[in-house]
Amino acid sequence: MSLLAAHINDAGISVLSAERLLYREPGFALLEDDELATGLKAFENARIKPRRIQNRFWSSLTTDALPDRRFQHLSAADLASRQLEQIWQVVASSGDRLVVAVPAYMKGENLGLFLGIAHELDVPVVGLVDAAVAATRREYAGAVPVHVDLSLHATTLSRLRQNGQVQLDRSEVIESGGMLSLYDAWIRIISDAFVKQSRFDPLHTAETEQLLLDRLSSWLTAAAANDTVMLDIEYRGITHSAELESLDLISAAAPVYQRIASQLRAIYRAEETPAIQLSDRAARMPGLADMLAARVGGEVFLLEPGATARGLLTRCRDMQRGDGGVTLIRQLPWDQSPVSIRRDEAPVAAGQPTHLLFENTAYPIDGRALLMGSQPVAGERWIDLRGDMPGVSRRHCSIERKNGQCILQDYSRYGTFLNGHKIDDSAVLQVGDLVRVGSPGYEFRLIMTESGNGS
C-alpha cells in the first residue's frame, strides 16, 4: 500500500515509487484494426504507420470524436483511458494510491475528465498538483523562478511566487513549440548530413526514417557533451555514417528556442532577477540552457530526471482520498535548502540598444524617458501616436536607460508587446527587439549605432 507519483507530460509520462522509476513512455497511441497500443510500442511506429498514430489525446483531452474518419468511434478520452489502464497494470499493487502532477495546459474540464477516467478504471487518484509547483522544491532567494518544460506540442513557462512556499503565479503555453517541432527540425538536418556525406537518404523509406527518430535521443545526448556528433544507421546489413556539428543541431532548433526566450523576457519585469528552472527534458536540449542564460540573463538551474514526480512523493506522502473530491493544488511547501542568487548588473549578450527606430527616424535612448502615446505633454520627450489606431493610451509606454539597461515601461490599459508578447509592467530591451503599441499597431525597432546621429 504505497503512494505512487505520476507526471503527465505526453513527451514522457512517468510514474515513480519511493524506490525507483516504474514507467516512462510517451503519450502515443497506435490504432490498428485489431489492437490499440500506447506508449513506446506506438512511438516505435510513429514514422512507419503515421496515419494510424495519435499523439494529441493528452494535450486535447475531450470526449469529442477523433477527426480521422476511420477512428471517429474513438475519442481522446478513450485513448487516454487506454494508456492510463496500461500504466496502472504495469506499476500498481493492491492498495496503492496515486498523486499526479499535471501540466498548465490541462484546464478544469480536462482535469475533471481525467478524474472520471481514473475513477472508471479504479485508479485511486488522491491529489492533483500543478507540475511546475511539484518540480520546485526550494526557494530561489533574491530571484523570481520560472519553470520551463517541453511537451510534445508545446512549451510551458510557469512563473512562481515565493511567499513562504512555492505557489503558481501564472503560466504561458507556447503552442507548436514542443518536442515534435524540434524532432522534425533535427531529423531534416541529420538526413541532409547523411545525403551529403554518404549518399544515403534515410527519409527515403519509412523504416529508416523511424531509425532516425529512435536514435535521436542518443545523438542529442552526445551533442550536449561534444562539439561533433558521429551519426550511424545500419540498414539491410550496411552501416551508413555521417558527422554533424553540434552547433548545427542548435541552429536547427533556434526558431523554437527564440520563441521560448522571447516569452521569458516578456514574463520578467525589468527589476527582477531571473531564476530559470529547466525540467530534465528541457535541460537535455542542446544549447537551450546557454541560449536562455545569454538572452534572458539571471541563472539557469537544471533539474534531474524524475524531479517533478519525486517532488510529489516527498511532499504529498500523507495525502489520502477525501470525501470532498480532488482539487488542483497550486502551492506546496519547500523541502530543500534555499539557494541565494545575486543580481548580475552586466548587460546580456544580445547588446545594448542606442536608438529606437520608428518611421525612418532613429530616436536616441538615454537617461531621459522617451514616451509614446496619443497625448504629448510639453517639456517631455515624446513620440506622438495621435491617430485612429485602436489600443493606444494617452500615456502608453516609455523607454529609457537605467542602471546600464534599456527599460521598457508600460502605463497603458491595453498592454505593450515585446516581440509579440505582452509584457508584465516592464521589460529589459535588447538590440533587434520589436515593440508594438496598439492593434494592429505601431512598431518600433531597437537598434545600435556607432555614431550619435538621430533625432
Domains of the chain are: 3-131+308-329 (3.30.420.40), 179-250 (3.90.640.10), 355-447 (2.60.200.20)
What pLDDT was estimated at residue 337?
A: 95
What pLDDT was estimated at residue 424?
A: 93
What pLDDT was estimated at residue 236?
A: 92
Residue numbers of the chain with a pLDDT score lower than 50: 452-455
Which residues are bridge partners to 217 per DSSP?
A: none
What pLDDT was estimated at residue 455?
A: 46
CA distances from 39 to 67, 131, 156 (A): 21, 20, 22
| pLDDT tens digits for range 345-382 | 655 555 789 999 999 999 999 999 999 999 998 899 99
